[in-house]
Amino acid sequence: MKHSSVSLWLCVRLLFAGMLAACGGAPEPITPPKQLAISAESPFQYPEELWDAQVEGETMLRLFITEQGAVDSVRVERTSGYEAFDSAALAGGRTLRFQPARRGAEPVGAWFILPVRFDLGPAADSAGAPSTSQPAVLP
């Protein structure tokens, strides 16, 4: 009798450990969203007064992208030091669309950082449109 209760106890522990392994483990990493180009024009407007003054800067936006790829929330994560750049970045950020982030094959909503660079150099187009990089996943 003692032998069978030990075997039953061992089976229950092994079954429980197997269930934990199947359910648990580290979740798959999130693949960042990809910005979709809806038009050839940049959604970010270079503030005229800063363009005329030949001022450059970078605003870091924090965006929540839904599982449908829409921007649900946007705020300034790091200011450029110029309110006009930050306001232009926020206004443009609200209009962006993305392929949603993914965990494995499933689309997920998540927070991301998107740098918006206001650059007068050759990377800017003829209208002086700011450039953006692809968003970086937040932990």
pLDDT for 90 beyond 50: yes
Output DSSP code: residue 138: -
Q: Does this model's pTM top 0.85?
A: no
- Exposure letters 45-65 (e unless 16+ CB within 10 A, then b): bbbeebbeeebbbbbbbbbeb
Q: Tell me the residue type at 126.
A: S
Reported as a single tens digit per residue, the pLDDT across 55-85 is 999 999 999 999 999 999 999 999 999 999 9
The per-residue pLDDT for 132 is 56
The per-residue pLDDT for 31 is 79
The per-residue pLDDT for 111 is 94
Which two structure tokens, joined as six digits, stand for 86? 């930050």
Task: Centre a 10 Å sphere on the Cβ of residue 4 and count the other Cβ atoms it contains.
Answer: 8
Comparison of pLDDT for 136 and 90, the residue scoring more = 90
Q: Which CATH number does 28-137 carry?
A: 3.30.2420.10
Give domain limits for the chain. 28-137
The per-residue pLDDT for 17 is 43
